Structure 1
């Protein structure tokens, strides 16, 4: 099995090693814990299947996922506006086929004081061929950042579920539901 196709470590176990992202380059990228209660729910499923691919990696003992930076070409470092594109594919299935969550290629867009995390809209484009097919998923508390040592760093960005993404989680969480904070790092 190739590195790209390797399954996520069993979420029900703890390796005890802090923050191992399977050798991923952590100098840039997006780190996100999704939602702790959701991951806890998944860990109790006897038929849970999950995968991480496309450059994404996981530290299962922390419940954190890393998506590497794919491009900052559409982001203006001077104004802090535009889109940061990350890459990776994260999938969860279970509940005897009734649960399927697929999160592909997250982008963070900053636009006039608003920030949004979107993913590829797999319902609109199941072949993943149209890069513009996006689904806004989370509204982000407009984060401040620190520029140091050639890196722009955002930490503990508050997140909340947007109306457009309620169906991604089978309508379990209402619009505005708090999800885990994000951490992003990009090269200046």
Structure 2
């Protein structure tokens, strides 16, 4: 999202699990506060905090182990740097960039994503220029590519077919 407006011939964009935020960041409007998820913004966390955060993010608990593993394999400095950038307002106005993009856009959200305000996502779609749609995947948490990979593949294929149909003839 941060660089989308810099891509000169962007054909389409799919975003999921992260609302395009405004500048200054509109936390209260875009997100639903969940204490356990603060773990994803900390450099150091206990195994219990990591397991709790992972459990909250997924609809089907069978995916918790994968989230824990990914978390433990990620760079803790990236988490703390992300938090620092968020809280210091070092992000671009993603909302403005997203709503003004002149290409088809899709916002995907899990029906059980605990952290993203779905009403805000729907508002972003309404206020967007060009062709923008919102898709909510049932029985899905914060990670649609993990929890609903077939549906995400279908969404990606559909958008790709739409935006490249002139080139496929």
Shorter-chain TM-score: what band? under 0.3
TM-score, structure 2 length as denominator?
0.26
TM-score, length of structure 1 as denominator length: 0.24
Q: Which has the higher contact order (CA 8 A, sep 6+)?
A: 2
Larger helix fraction of residues: 2
Which structure dedicates a bigger proportion of its chain to strand?
1
